[in-house]
């Protein structure tokens, strides 16, 4: 097992613990030393894989942030790695450090539960501040990466606005409203008295009509449409 640990995992300061998951040894060591120097006394540990961390640290500190570095992997693959976290760690915020800066990847990562997304084009100082934001309960998203997709989103939003209420059926509109509140399919099915499989069909049809790539984009694209309906 290739991991870098402090002298004793049993001694925990009352600070945040940052767990780095990075398979590349040199980058892992650089991240470890840099974050230890810049995070004001927080405990920083580094492991090659989530499994290595689970074996070495079976009872992690409650105030833990997980920094995942998915080399060349898409958000759907990261979701699988998040799912192998120990049951007691499911609530811990996960931040992605990635070479990919596409807005679709960032939004997908947030859809899969990430609390932050740090492109490797950002400076170390900005990355540290992003971790501080997540530590305080916030969500970090790189605005520079999302701006690149702004025009496409605005065009789709205008299409939705122009179509008005004719864009969705009554049931689809109800599902959209639930999606905008961040509700899961199971919860939507319960509240709208329909099968979960039916909700999935509605979600697919809604995404197709809006040309949205994920649930987050559905919420963004329908924002003005719902504001218009509320005003009316």
pLDDT tens-digit map of 185-212: 888 888 888 888 889 898 988 888 888 8
Contact call for residues 69 and 21 (beta carbons, < 8 A) = yes
pTM of this structure: 0.59
Angstrom distance (rounded) from CA 99 to CA 224: 32
Six token digits for residue 225: 């449409």
Residue ranges per structural domain of the chain? 3-146, 150-231
pLDDT tens-digit map of 78-112: 666 666 676 667 788 999 998 888 777 787 788 77
CATH 1.10.10.10 is held by the domain 150-231 = yes
Six token digits for residue 203: 């979600």
Q: Which CATH class is domain 3-146?
A: alpha beta
Contact call for residues 190 and 179 (beta carbons, < 8 A) = no
pLDDT beyond 60 at 63: yes
pLDDT beyond 50 at 12: no
Q: Considering the chain, what is the average pLDDT of its residues?
A: 79
């Amino acid at each position: 097992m290739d991991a870098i640990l402090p002298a004793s995992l049993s001694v925990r300061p009352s600070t945040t613990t940052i767990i780095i998951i990075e398979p590349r040894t040199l980058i892992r060591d650089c991240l470890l030393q840099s974050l230890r120097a810049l995070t004001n006394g927080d405990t920083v540990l580094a492991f090659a894989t989530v499994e290595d961390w689970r074996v070495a640290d079976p009872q992690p500190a409650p105030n833990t942030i997980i920094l995942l570095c998915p080399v060349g992997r898409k958000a759907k693959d990261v979701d699988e790695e998040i799912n192998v976290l120990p049951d007691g760690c499911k609530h811990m915020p996960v931040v992605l450090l990635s070479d990919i800066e596409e807005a679709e990847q960032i939004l997908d990562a947030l859809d899969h539960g990430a609390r932050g997304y740090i492109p490797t084009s950002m400076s170390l100082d900005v990355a540290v501040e992003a971790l501080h934001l997540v530590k305080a309960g916030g969500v970090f998203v790189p605005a520079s990466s999302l701006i690149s997709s702004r025009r496409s989103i605005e065009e789709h939003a205008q299409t939705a606005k122009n179509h008005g209420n004719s864009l969705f059926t009554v049931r689809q509109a109800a599902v959209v409203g639930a999606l905008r509140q961040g509700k899961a399919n199971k919860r939507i099915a319960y509240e709208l008295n329909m099968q979960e499989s039916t909700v999935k069909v509605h979600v697919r049809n809604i995404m197709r009509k809006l040309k949205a790539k994920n649930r987050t984009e559905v919420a963004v694209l329908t924002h003005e449409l719902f504001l218009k309906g509320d005003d009316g």
